[in-house]
Amino acid sequence: MRGGSAAVFVVGVLVPFVAGCRPTDVCAETGSACGGDPVGSWAETDVCQDPTLQDKIAAKQTYFNQPLVPGGQSPPEVTSTDWCSSLQYIGTSGISFFALPRDTPAIQGAFLSYSAGSDGSHTQGLYTTLITSSDKTSINYSASCLQRFGYAPGSCADFAAAFAAYGSSLGGIKETSCQDSGDGGCLCSYLSESDAAGTDLSGIWSSDGHVITHFAGSGVLPTQVDYCVQGNQMTLWGHDRTSILNSPAGLRTLVLRKVVCGDGIVDRGEECDPPDQTTCSSTCQTIAAQ
């Protein structure tokens, strides 16, 4: 009898403890995947990015999830690890290579277009996607980092000029600035922007019930989303808690509105809206002046 009571007591204590430690899914599906007709063009109105699905490229050079330091060893210099090791100079003429570190970028906008199949079917066809994202990064480059290859900038202003020149050569790097950090190094910040498209985000789609499967033109493994079309709104959820369309930014939920010519909103693919048949055509394209 005493053994039985102890067992009941242990179970009674452990069950609520385990339930209390269950992680919260910040991007859990908030609605029902009802399916529907996805054919058309769609513009993003809301997103949910899962912090546990990090950008695989950025995760190699990021502030988070760095390897633990083994016991008995001195920790590496915080500002001179992965991102500093890739910094290369050509004499004193400036930066020749630098893999700029950043964290997982925030989604700024998304545009999806689903076309019907060649036989007119609305259960399969071609799709194209454009996802824009950005991230503001601030990082301190220590004195040892700046001088490790024999380059000693006269001031942070000199390094800022080289930093800005290299950033502009990459494309998508804007608003660069550097200032003296007070310890011989330079505290720099920059904005990185990206327009993700290409064969990873375009290809063939097919639907089965409330699930759309995307077969990317690049040949990577297909991805699936649960979806629901209600009027002029469509919601996509990454199937089985996966990232939508191989998105590099942990995109788990995407809410979109249908692009409709005449709704007064100039969307991607439109030059004007609403149509007035004088300056704006019935397809929301600008009418050239006669």
Q: Which of 219, 140, 222, 224 is nearest to 182 (CA)?
A: 140
User: Each residue of 1-55: pLDDT tens digit?
Assistant: 444 444 444 444 444 444 556 567 888 888 899 999 999 999 999 999 987 665 5
Three-class DSSP category at 245:
helix
3-state helix, strand, coil split of the chain in percent (to 5) is 20, 35, 45
User: Vertex 134, ends 105 and 238: CA angle to 5°?
Assistant: 45
Phi, psi for residue 114 in degrees, rounded to 5: -115, 125
The kind and range of the H/E element at 128 are strand 124-141
pLDDT band (50, 70, 90) for residue 82: very low
Distance CA 263, CA 270 (A): 11
End-to-end CA distance of the chain: 98
Are 207 and 38 in contact by the 8 Å Cβ rule? The answer is yes
* pLDDT computed for residue 85 by the predictor: 63
